Structure 1
Amino acid sequence: MQISNEGILVILFVGLIAGWLAGQIVRGTGFGIIGDILVGIAGALVASYLFPKLGVHIGSGLVSEIIYSAIGAIVLLLIVRLVRTGGRL
């Protein structure tokens, strides 16, 4: 599998926007550019695992990928917060 330069830029862009959105919703602030990208990409991985198992399909295109990744990132951040605080949100 080979990813083009444009593909990498799209992945980074989607990760940045999704991570920033998740940070705004869960924490109230972002995590910085690198943190937002990492959270967004991790959220995309979480969503790509969970959504098919739940039978959820949002659609196709860049906007749906951002939404998909942001929801996954929110779930990921909430799980991390639960583990860190011992069960309190």
Structure 2
Amino acid sequence: MLYSIIIGGIAGWLAGKLMKGGGFGLVKNIILGIIGGFVGGWLFNILGIYTFHGELGDLLEGVIGAVAILFVADLIKKNK
């Protein structure tokens, strides 16, 4: 569990750096990264995409999931 939080936090930070405008700030990006890590793993599993095993694969899934979550959250934020 702690491993997932750490990888998700790093993924959220990286996703915030990748997103135009920097996302939502460090703390929210990390929280969304943790959620995105679970979403990324779930999406990759559903699509039958298998990444590297270990930390690198987990980080890749987390960053992709976090970018997706940040993208959707940004769309919601802009429509309010």
Q: TM-score range by the shorter chain?
A: 0.7 to 0.9
2:78 maps to which of 60, 69, 85:
85
Secondary structure class of the residue paired with 1:57: coil
What's 1:60 paired with? 53
Matched, 1:15 2:25: no
The runs of 4+ residues in structure 1 deviating greater than 6 Å are none
TM-score by length of 1: 0.72
1:75 alignment partner AA: A
The answer on whether the counterparts of 1:15 and 1:36 sit within 8 Å (CA) in structure 2 is no
1:37 maps to which of 15, 20, 30:
30
TM-score by length of 2: 0.79
When Rg is computed on C-alpha atoms for both structures, the one with the higher figure is 1
Aligned residues: 78
What percentage of residue pairs aligned between the two structures are identical?
A: 32
5+ residue gaps, structure 2: none
